């Protein structure tokens, strides 16, 4: 692991803004109200030729034992324990507060190198607060503006003293935290981590499930809905295969979302879906296949991502024969656009069904990446058209000539035909369903694009006219 630096400080001093600035991406949610960050988030930071692991933390705050605030502070303490150095951030415009002084003592007791950062120091209003921070006894403050990128050269000098010699960067190495576009082809599918986003309504048990996968309380959980705000990425190893799993905020119906922070959380969750490879749609076993669940499944299909349905809290259900089979029947009936998708009953709390879920994710990923030879496709295509020809339009027969696969991830095909605009959607659905059965493509989105062949006699018709 590279040199790790934890960003700590009281709420609303700009820790997440500084985190985003140093990782070069807007990974952490930022808002004016305090307490936005709850879970700790890691990213690959870079400042000049310095490279390090950066850990964004919740604002240091006191709360009753067992409360959400207290557990947020436990997350911060875990980040401090894992870090090699600390960046203690204060708000230079607000000046020192009793909370800053209390947690400066906390930082000293960690017995790790501390860099004091006076954020929001731009302009005359920040100078007094930066000077006042000498009283904390944490050394010379580094006045910066994380929002505007000022003072980073001084921060570089302070970090350079603490860090080992920089290692030359391999520009071709993948950044595991970044949301890179996954629609392109990749030759190393069997070696790089599978990116998985866990999506669902609030309080479906997404964070609990991921904690069970990790074997530790890495993510905050609570009986109350809306605990998770950021999309947090964690690395999971299962039977020798690496997974990059993104926990996301619970998604309610759009009409119920009024709070600005919730809108930011929803936007972050949707971003995770767009750049995932497999999406686990988590449902509550006691309230499964509700309207919002179906909307989310349709969103995943439209984004072209492989989908696995996890029915959580299965330990609370009364077991009956053929219950899982009925779940699959319900899924195929309500979500025909991804017919055959894996449906797995799990319990994040008790650890039931975890192996089946991870196996289903790996299988769905394999189907999502599948390629079919053009010869096999056209043998199937000829038979499918012969069994069910497209309807005639205005007495003229539509000609479907041949098919080829344009790309995988998801499987996408091009059909060359005459009068593409006249072929009905129902016929395309017939082709998709037939293809699923013929080539074993359950659950994955399938794209079919129609393309008209050039008319070789078109130029002659123009000459006559």
Q: Taking the domains of the chain in order of start, what are their residue ranges?
A: 4-25+38-162, 194-253+263-369, 374-452
230 in Cβ contact with 39 (< 8 Å): yes
CATH number 3.40.50.300 is the correct assignment for the domain at 194-253+263-369: yes
pTM attached to this predicted model? 0.76
Residue with tokens 């998708």, as numbered in its chain:
341
Question: Quick check: do 4-25+38-162 and 374-452 share a fold?
Answer: no
CA distances from 119 to 99, 375, 392, 433 (A): 16, 63, 70, 57
**What pLDDT is stored for residue 178 in this prediction?**
45
Nearest CA to 230 among 219, 243, 216, 242? 219
C-beta atoms surrounding 20 within 10 Å: 21
CA distances from 277 to 183, 197, 274, 294, 378 (A): 9, 8, 8, 19, 28
**What pLDDT is stored for residue 169 in this prediction?**
45
- DSSP string across 121-152: --STHHHHHHHHGGGGSSSS-EE-BTTTTBTH
Q: What helix, strand, coil percent values describe the chain, rounded to 5? A: 35, 20, 40
| 3-class state of residue 117 by DSSP | strand
**What pLDDT is stored for residue 79 in this prediction?**
85
Q: What is the C-alpha separation between 41 and 218, in angstroms, rounded? A: 10
> Rounded to the nearest 10 degrees, how much is the dihedral formed by the CA atoms of 254, 257, 261, 267?
0
CATH topology of domain 374-452: GMP Synthetase; Chain A, domain 3 (3.30.300)
Q: What is the C-alpha separation between 316 and 275, in angstroms, rounded? A: 33
Q: What is the C-alpha separation between 166 and 162, in angstroms, rounded? A: 11
| 3-class state of residue 352 by DSSP | strand
- What are the residues whose beta carbons fall under 8 Å from the beta carbon of 259, sequence distance 6 or more? none
pLDDT per residue, tens digit, the chain (465 aa), is 589 999 998 888 888 899 999 998 877 665 556 555 666 788 899 998 899 999 988 776 666 665 666 667 777 888 888 899 999 999 988 888 888 888 888 888 888 999 999 998 887 667 777 788 888 888 889 999 998 888 999 999 999 988 876 445 444 444 434 444 555 555 566 678 999 999 998 888 888 898 889 888 777 666 665 566 667 888 999 988 999 999 887 787 765 555 655 666 778 788 889 889 999 999 999 888 999 999 999 999 999 999 999 999 998 888 777 888 899 999 999 999 999 999 999 998 898 999 999 999 999 999 999 999 999 999 999 999 999 998 887 778 888 999 999 999 999 999 998 888 889 999 999 999 999 999 999 999 999 999 987 666 555 555 555
**What pLDDT is stored for residue 33 in this prediction?**
61
Binding residues are 9-16, 56-60, 119-122, 200-207, 247-251, 312-315
Among the four given CATH numbers 3.40.50.300, 1.10.486.10, 1.20.20.10, 3.90.1170.40, the one describing domain 4-25+38-162: 3.40.50.300
Binding residues for GTP are 9-16, 56-60, 119-122, 200-207, 247-251, 312-315
């Amino acid at each position: 692991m590279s040199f790790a630096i934890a960003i700590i400080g009281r709420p609303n001093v700009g820790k997440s803004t500084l985190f985003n600035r140093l990782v070069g991406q807007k990974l952490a949610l930022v808002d004016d109200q305090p307490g936005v960050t709850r879970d700790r988030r890691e990213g690959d930071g870079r400042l000049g030729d310095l490279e390090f692991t950066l850990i964004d933390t919740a604002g240091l705050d006191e709360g009753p034992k067992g409360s959400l605030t207290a557990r947020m502070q436990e997350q911060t303490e875990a980040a401090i324990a894992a870090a090699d150095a600390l960046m203690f951030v204060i708000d230079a415009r607000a000046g020192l507060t009793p909370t800053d002084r209390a947690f400066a003592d906390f930082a000293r007791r960690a017995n790790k190198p501390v860099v004091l950062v006076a954020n929001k120091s731009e302009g005359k209003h920040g100078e007094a607060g930066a000077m006042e921070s000498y009283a904390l006894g944490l050394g010379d403050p580094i006045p910066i503006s994380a929002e505007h990128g000022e003072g980073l050269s001084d921060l570089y000098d302070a970090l350079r003293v603490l860090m080992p010699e920089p290692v030359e960067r391999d520009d071709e190495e993948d950044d595991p935290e970044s949301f890179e576009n996954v629609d392109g082809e990749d030759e190393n599918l069997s070696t790089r981590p599978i990116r998985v986003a866990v999506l669902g309504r609030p309080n479906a048990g997404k964070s609990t499930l991921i904690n069970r996968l990790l074997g530790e309380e890495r993510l905050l959980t609570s009986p109350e809905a809306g605990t998770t705000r950021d999309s947090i990425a964690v690395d999971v190893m299962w039977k020798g295969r690496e997974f990059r799993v993104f926990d996301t905020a619970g998604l309610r119906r759009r009409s119920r979302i009024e709070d600005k922070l919730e809108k930011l959380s929803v936007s972050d969750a949707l971003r995770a879906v767009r750049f995932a490879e497999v999406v686990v749609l988590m449902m509550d076993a006691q309230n499964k296949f509700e309207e919002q669940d179906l909307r989310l499944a349709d969103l995943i299909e439209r984004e072209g991502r492989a989908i696995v349905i996890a029915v959580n809290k299965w330990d609370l259900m009364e077991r009956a024969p053929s219950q899982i089979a009925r779940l699959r029947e319900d899924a195929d009936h309500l979500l025909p656009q991804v017919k055959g998708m894996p449906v797995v009953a799990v319990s994040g709390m008790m650890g039931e069904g975890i192996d089946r879920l991870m196996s289903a994710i790996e299988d769905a990923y394999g189907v999502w990446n599948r390629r079919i030879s053009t010869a096999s496709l056209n043998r199937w295509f000829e038979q499918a058209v012969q069994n069910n020809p497209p309807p005639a339009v205005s007495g003229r027969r539509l000609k479907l000539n041949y098919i080829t696969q344009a790309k995988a991830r998801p499987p996408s095909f091009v059909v060359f035909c005459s009068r593409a605009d006249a072929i009905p959607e129902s016929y395309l659905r017939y082709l998709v369903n037939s293809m699923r059965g013929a080539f074993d493509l359950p659950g994955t989105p399938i794209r079919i694009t129609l393309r008209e062949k050039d008319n070789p006699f078109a130029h002659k018709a123009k000459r006559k006219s």
